[in-house]
Structure 1
Amino acid sequence: MGDPYILMLVALAVLAIADLVVGVSNDAVNFLNSAIGSKAIPIKTIMIIASLGVFLGAVTSSGMMEVARKGIFNPNMFMFEEIMYIFMAVMITDILLLDIFNSLGMPTSTTVSIVFELLGAAVAIALIKISASDTQTIADISSYINNKKAIEIISGIVVSVIVSFTVGAIVQYFSRLIYSFDFEKRPLYINALFGGFAITAITYFIIIKGLKGTPFYSNIKGIIEGNTMAIVAGSFVVWSLLSSVIIKVLKTNILVVIIAVGTFSLAMAFAGNDLVNFIGVPIAALNSYEAWQASGMAANEFSMGVLAKKVPSNVWLLLFAGAVMVITLWTSKKARAVIETGINLSRQGEGQEKFQPNNLSRVVVRLAMFTNQGINYLIPTKTQTYINSKFEKPVIKLPKDKVYELPAFDLVRAAVNLIMASILISLATSMKLPLSTTYVTFMVAMGTSLADRAWGRESAVYRVAGVFNVIGGWFLTAIVAFTAAGIVAYLISWHMAMIPVLLLVVVALVVKTSITYSKKAKEEKKQLFVERAELISINGVIEESSDHIAEVAERINKLYSSVVNDLANHDLIKLRKTDKHVTKLNDEIDNLKDGVFYFIKSLDDNSVQASRFYILILGYLQDVAQSISYISRATYKHVNNNHKNLKKGQLKDLKEIDNTLSTLLESIKKTFENRSFDNLAYIINAKRELLKDVSHSIEKQVERIRTDETSPKNTTLYFSILIETQDLVSGLVSLLETYEEFHVSTKSLV
């Protein structure tokens, strides 16, 4: 009777390790964003500091394990068998959910996911029990579920989002007024007091958030409770004096120290608070199994009221979990993607935006602009000038041969992010309010970036859309977690054989998302968009434009051949797939055109004349991409509407054009890959011959219409393909002629 449950425990242990990996990949954003975004500390040092915090937090997290046992449902209402079903459903759902968010590069809350998974699975099992009972009704669900806790968590989501964003914005605004962007020239006493305030807040956070609820806290409980204000005041004085010594004697920027201490404290809080989200359920399952084994009762008759009691966690398990978290922190590529999302949305400068604007973000930005105009009418002009002077960014002068990558934001904002996140989480913990570290850290970062004028007219609509996407994902997490865990729990309760089936599904989906993510990462490396960190010479213009042309030629070649072949086979699925690739190519070329400003800014003094050439090349590439886009869309529409296929003669002509075009595009690709530009004249002449072939095919179709063509739709499609092919070839000829002219004019310089 115990064998299936032992296997379930083994499965839960494996799932716990997997959950630790996907969970840390998502939650690393909480404590790494500020340090990495500000470039205050070398990346390896940041990782060492965070690793120490994670490890210490894991060891002190035993007090949080009670949540999985009795925080969401009333364990005495469930039998051992039912509890195991709930725990299996929760772990299966959690891994899938977090892995999907990681693959999308979106931060979400592991706390909310585990809570709503427990809630969803418990509700599903409770409803099954109620439906099998003659005396209970749906109204009795409250005896199974801790409704109050669920309501607290949902309200906590809304409150933490609003409060964190607002407080972060206000504190950052006044911090910038005090420090300005030229913070290195501030007087010693300002830096010392700021350091005293910041480190006091963070150390208090470590004690209250990191140690409260752990066995260690009982040793210092008598000292802390009742003396909080005295401890805080004393700490402020001590840390202010130490900050003065650090600044004056050690010649160290106190903001760097604050960022290091803050990163450690948030990493510790993450592990201490969120470890329960990953291993709390398996540990609760182990406790349940041990209690059931000792009872000698049947699995469906043993009540799990024992879970309501406080059970000490195994320190060795916590140490092992901490080790897994640290290893994941160093190795996870998906963690870096999630971190990039948070940094991208809060960065000070312009650049490539990850999110597209929507109507809601546009309305919010317009409303904010209107409100700002109204406020400016009320503030005196001199005051506005003074405030604006504090937000003026210094001009960084660099040697032209030096590669330099600016941080996403400066040390002041990074320090405020960490301080405010620490204070807000400390206050909520001391007030016993439910809180997600993800929500607090992310929304504080968004609030500080808004107050710091990082969201200008050029980027605000994209950043606001990104914030709405992330927040929407948080609420979606709760809904999906509840529903999916409930369904999985129902399937497991229906028959135990569903457990191995569902585990196989988990493995398959995780492997699939990993493969998809790897492919996506490789494709992004090949994307045409280039982030520039150094000045570009004429050689650089030639190299970059050649790479773009070779890449576009190769992709146009594949796409055109795919359209012709799929049209001949009337393959709607492949045509849809090709159309997606065509759209992607157009988007990448649009991104290149959006980056023209940065390209021209990056040109060295001797290469400015190359800007006109580069702009023309992008224009021709866009014309070519738009032509293949029209061909793909028209072909897909024709087949999707179930119109007749083209006649053999038409398909034969298209295939001949495709073969000739394919040969020439391959020649273009090799020419630009090998930088053998002396072949351009030959290719241009060959292109002109292809234009004659296309014109001849148009004439043949006109003749068909006058004799045996009976389908207007076929004629429309055929002419559309030929005319757009003509435009495509003309665009390539113009591109090559422009390149040949530029190559000849710069030959003496190259």
Structure 2
Amino acid sequence: MDNIYLFMLIAITVLAVADIIVGVSNDAINFLNSAIGSKAISMRTIMIVASLGIFIGAVYSSGLMEVARKGIFVPGMFSFHEIMLIFMTVMITDILLLDFFNTLGLPTSTTVSIVFNLLGAAVVMALIKIGNSDTQTFADLGSYINTKKAMEIISGILLSVVIAFSVGAFVQWISRLIFTFQYEKKMKSFGALFGGLALTAILYFIFMKGLKGTPYYKDLKGYVEGNEIYIIAIGFALFTLFSYAFQQITKKSILLVVIAVGTFGLALAFSGNDLVNFIGVPMAAYHSYEAWTLDGGAASGFMMDVLDKKMPAEPFLLFIAGGIMVVTLWFSKKAKTVAETEISLSRQGETHEKFEPNAISRAVVKGTTWLSNALGSIVPKATQERIAHSFHKPDENLTKAQSVEAPAFDMIRASVNLMVAGVLIAIATSMKLPLSTTYVTFMVAMGTSLADRAWGAESAVYRVAGVLNVIGGWFGTAFGAFTAAGIIVFLINWNPSVMTPILLLITAFLLYRNYKSHQKKSNKTLDEDSLTETGSRSVQGVIHESASNISNVIKRGNRIYTNAVKGLAKQDLALLKKNQKQIDKLSTEVDSLRDNIFYFIKNLEETSLRASSFYINILGYLQDMTQSLEYISKVSHKHINNNHKKLKFSQIRELKEVDDTLEVLFNETKEAFDSRSFEKIGSIINRKKELFDLVTDKIVKQVARTRTEESSPKNTTLYFGLLLETKDLLTATMNLLEEYYNSHDSSIEPKTISVEPPTNDSEE
């Protein structure tokens, strides 16, 4: 390859476009979640406001591009050849790392990612140079690396977590104490003051963080700096008057404006200041290549002191970058996945918890519960009751599915999220503290969730586990970026002409694989046979709505049992493994229905309480059926996976006979439920003894074989286990049918037998 560096520059440019896409997909949560979670304004309006903020912030970027050129390493210590290898490495590792987090649906910091990619690549390249030098030692590494910047970033992580969480929790607690969950009336009295305070804070944030460094800020600098207090005071007065006028004229809450303006401000700050994370390296590579071509010397001998000079960002490139960011915001499905993580962790009501509890989350919840109880014993009871009244939520009898569709939190919390995040980032900017926008916005949201009592006894261990997972991912970003960049720069340095194309192909493959995997997961629609929650409020309604679930369980259970027998007969490990996944999915769906029993009972009519008893019994029998199928599937897979002896031909034949009989039973049962011909269930129940006798006969035959010809203890254990669990499966199935048959007869009895008014004993 005649000019490897031109090839690298082109590759870096292409990767930059992809990096913007994956970066925006992750960072979109910083400015979208408060508006999306509260559902205060339409999704279309949210996207338009955020798009304007992104585009304006990108076009008038604050010019922090020097971070990529000289913020992490000393450019004068590296040659053009080495710098290009570092930049090539950084773009590859950064895009893969961010895409990995997007696929998992976890928010991370693009700032930390790019900084530690640069640091890892520069450290390894410096060590290579030191290793090839006769005069330098490991002690000279400090002359290559700007270690102070790296330490600032690490301290910034810790500051972001602690400060943002604490301040967010405190401000939200005070806000909720004042406004309560029935805040509409309070907003009429105090809304103008709250709106003035929030809008003033957000305006200050936009000037201090979003517009600082732009061409406009230079003209305003003399008026702003040194006059912050006056600006805040005047702004508060003007915005308070505006808030009052807005509420009086439109008869709408000023919180709508606060959320829209806050979303715009965070979007503007994100693109204006974080754009360096995506195009800083490509622009530095372009300037390096430009300087080298003008010099005309050897690439390995041309030292990059030129990068020490401040270079303005290219307006045309910023315009293109802004356009790409806006398009990504509108079309990225991964952005929605990352947003769902934060919204689910901060949701006020019930949700499908995304994270499983762990030992640390349980310990944290137990510790904070103990501390809360200890503090509660000190605070006077009257004060506790007054506080509890402010945090009392109106009763809403929603199912879990309805709760998930409802707003995750109200406009008070959304406004506090935006206001506090904006103020903290503005203060950090003025004090030159390296707080990450991702860390601040996420931890503020988690703090306000805690203060709002969204993390109750029912959800705390799941939510805390989720927060710990995200925080762990932040530190994983730093470690992973540093390590991966170091390895890749070593490989590229070994043979740039060979390794660069190979690594680019691997990168393209991994990005495509992650894209297809996420697309498959995102496009996963409800299976035809999936179980659904009943929304009926009467016995008759529950009977008919549950029939579909019974039919689906029977159909899927029949398939699972047949595949277990077939897998044992053919010793097909792949089929048995797939079978295990199928029963795990079915078991999860049944458990989900049981989790919704509370909401089901809450929604019942008072005259139909018998439906709750029927529904609970049905779910219990369904769970018994799935547990039996789970055991059958598990032991079958374990037997074949452990390479134990194949079952005897006679045993396989007998299992097939049982399977064929069960198939007839299940097919007839499914037909009865599909057609709602519940009277047919009686004839199926009448064959109960015949079915149990068949399984008992197989057990007796195996006992005889064990005493005479059976030589494998594993086979005996497996065979007895399968037959005994089959009996349990039959028992659960028959119990379910009897419950259905009896309840159906009872539920239609008043309509078919008697025309008299229902007596006092009537349960409907």
TM-score (norm 2): 0.92
Q: Is the 8 A contact 1:529 1:591 kept in 2?
A: no
CA 1:63–1:403: 2 relative to 1, 3 Å: closer
Q: Distance in 2 between matches of 1:514 and 1:564?
A: 37
AA matched with 2:64: M
- Corresponding residue for residue 508 of structure 2: 507
Instruction: Give the drift of 1:205.
Output: 0.7
Q: Is the 8 A contact 2:109 2:438 kept in 1?
A: yes
Q: Is the 8 A contact 1:60 1:210 kept in 2?
A: no
- Corresponding residue for residue 16 of structure 2: 16
CA 1:681–1:144: 2 relative to 1, 3 Å: farther
- Corresponding residue for residue 707 of structure 1: 708
Deviation by residue 1:653-694 (Cα, 9 ceiling, x = unmatched): 223433443455455556545655565456556776554433
Secondary structure in 2 aligned to 1:63?
Answer: coil
Q: Distance in 2 between matches of 1:660 and 1:130?
A: 77
- Corresponding residue for residue 457 of structure 1: 457
Secondary structure in 1 aligned to 2:343?
Answer: helix
Instruction: Give the drift of 1:266.
Output: 0.9
Q: Distance in 2 between matches of 1:420 and 1:354?
A: 26
CA 1:54–1:537: 2 relative to 1, 3 Å: farther
Say whether residues 1:724 and 2:722 are aligned partners: no
Instruction: Give the drift of 1:720.
Output: 0.5
Equivalent pairs: percent with the same residue? 58
CA 1:30–1:662: 2 relative to 1, 3 Å: farther
- Corresponding residue for residue 97 of structure 2: 97
Q: Distance in 2 between matches of 1:397 and 1:730?
A: 35
CA 1:432–1:321: 2 relative to 1, 3 Å: same
Q: Distance in 2 between matches of 1:323 and 1:156?
A: 30
- Corresponding residue for residue 225 of structure 2: 225
- Corresponding residue for residue 270 of structure 1: 270
Instruction: Give the drift of 1:481.
Output: 1.5
Q: How does 1:651-662 map to 2 (within 5 A)?
A: 651-662=652-663
Instruction: Give the drift of 1:420.
Output: 0.2
Secondary structure in 2 aligned to 1:216?
Answer: helix
CA 1:654–1:209: 2 relative to 1, 3 Å: same
Q: Is the 8 A contact 1:173 1:452 kept in 2?
A: yes
Q: Is the 8 A contact 1:664 1:687 kept in 2?
A: no
Moved over 6 A (4+): none
Q: Is the 8 A contact 2:345 2:467 kept in 1?
A: yes
Q: How does 1:43-122 map to 2 (within 5 A)?
A: 43-122=43-122
CA 1:578–1:19: 2 relative to 1, 3 Å: farther
CA 1:670–1:263: 2 relative to 1, 3 Å: farther
CA 1:559–1:535: 2 relative to 1, 3 Å: closer
Q: Distance in 2 between matches of 1:603 and 1:523?
A: 32
AA matched with 2:710: E
Deviation by residue 1:50-98 (Cα, 9 ceiling, x = unmatched): 1111111211225122222221111222222222222222222222222
Instruction: Give the drift of 1:291.
Output: 1.7
Deviation by residue 1:151-196 (Cα, 9 ceiling, x = unmatched): 1101110111000000011111111122122221126552212111
Q: Distance in 1 between matches of 2:518 and 2:540?
A: 34
- Corresponding residue for residue 195 of structure 2: 195
- Corresponding residue for residue 142 of structure 2: 142
More divergent stretch after superposition (404-413 vs 685-694): 685-694
Q: CA RMSD of the aligned region, Å?
A: 2.7
More divergent stretch after superposition (412-421 vs 69-78): 69-78
Q: Is the 8 A contact 1:664 1:686 kept in 2?
A: no
CA 1:628–1:280: 2 relative to 1, 3 Å: same
AA matched with 2:711: T
- Corresponding residue for residue 429 of structure 1: 429
CA 1:480–1:557: 2 relative to 1, 3 Å: farther
CA 1:557–1:501: 2 relative to 1, 3 Å: farther
Q: Is the 8 A contact 1:64 1:272 kept in 2?
A: no
Q: Distance in 1 between matches of 2:695 and 2:273?
A: 68
AA matched with 2:7: L
Deviation by residue 1:615-670 (Cα, 9 ceiling, x = unmatched): 12211111111112212222333334443222222223223433443455455556
- Corresponding residue for residue 632 of structure 2: 631
Say whether residues 1:207 and 2:207 are aligned partners: yes
- Corresponding residue for residue 242 of structure 1: 242
Q: Distance in 1 between matches of 2:507 and 2:65?
A: 25
Instruction: Give the drift of 1:478.
Output: 1.3
- Corresponding residue for residue 293 of structure 1: 293
AA matched with 2:60: T
Report how many residues are paired: 746
More divergent stretch after superposition (159-168 vs 241-250): 241-250
Instruction: Give the drift of 1:545.
Output: 2.4
- Corresponding residue for residue 740 of structure 2: 739
Q: Is the 8 A contact 2:397 2:602 kept in 1?
A: no
Q: Is the 8 A contact 2:350 2:403 kept in 1?
A: no
Secondary structure in 2 aligned to 1:378?
Answer: coil
Secondary structure in 1 aligned to 2:277?
Answer: helix
Instruction: Give the drift of 1:329.
Output: 1.6
Q: Distance in 1 between matches of 2:738 and 2:189?
A: 65
CA 1:686–1:198: 2 relative to 1, 3 Å: same
Q: Distance in 2 between matches of 1:662 and 1:349?
A: 43
Unmatched tracts of structure 2, length 5 or more: 753-764
- Corresponding residue for residue 694 of structure 2: 693
More divergent stretch after superposition (540-549 vs 208-217): 540-549
- Corresponding residue for residue 619 of structure 2: 618
Q: Distance in 2 between matches of 1:516 and 1:24?
A: 19
Q: Is the 8 A contact 2:62 2:273 kept in 1?
A: no
Q: Is the 8 A contact 1:62 1:312 kept in 2?
A: no
CA 1:734–1:650: 2 relative to 1, 3 Å: same
Secondary structure in 2 aligned to 1:280?
Answer: helix
Q: Distance in 2 between matches of 1:675 and 1:336?
A: 41
- Corresponding residue for residue 567 of structure 2: 566
Deviation by residue 1:299-350 (Cα, 9 ceiling, x = unmatched): 2222222222212222222222222222222222222222121111111113
Secondary structure in 2 aligned to 1:300?
Answer: coil
Q: Is the 8 A contact 2:350 2:404 kept in 1?
A: no
Q: Distance in 2 between matches of 1:159 and 1:87?
A: 29
Q: Is the 8 A contact 2:85 2:492 kept in 1?
A: yes
CA 1:395–1:583: 2 relative to 1, 3 Å: closer
- Corresponding residue for residue 334 of structure 1: 334
CA 1:661–1:397: 2 relative to 1, 3 Å: closer
Deviation by residue 1:184-228 (Cα, 9 ceiling, x = unmatched): 112655221211111111011111111112333222212211212
TM-score (norm 1): 0.93
CA 1:654–1:210: 2 relative to 1, 3 Å: same
- Corresponding residue for residue 183 of structure 1: 183
Q: Is the 8 A contact 2:153 2:434 kept in 1?
A: yes
Instruction: Give the drift of 1:580.
Output: 4.2
Q: Distance in 2 between matches of 1:408 and 1:273?
A: 29
More divergent stretch after superposition (634-643 vs 421-430): 634-643
- Corresponding residue for residue 366 of structure 2: 366
Q: Distance in 2 between matches of 1:674 and 1:500?
A: 61
CA 1:547–1:474: 2 relative to 1, 3 Å: farther
CA 1:137–1:459: 2 relative to 1, 3 Å: same
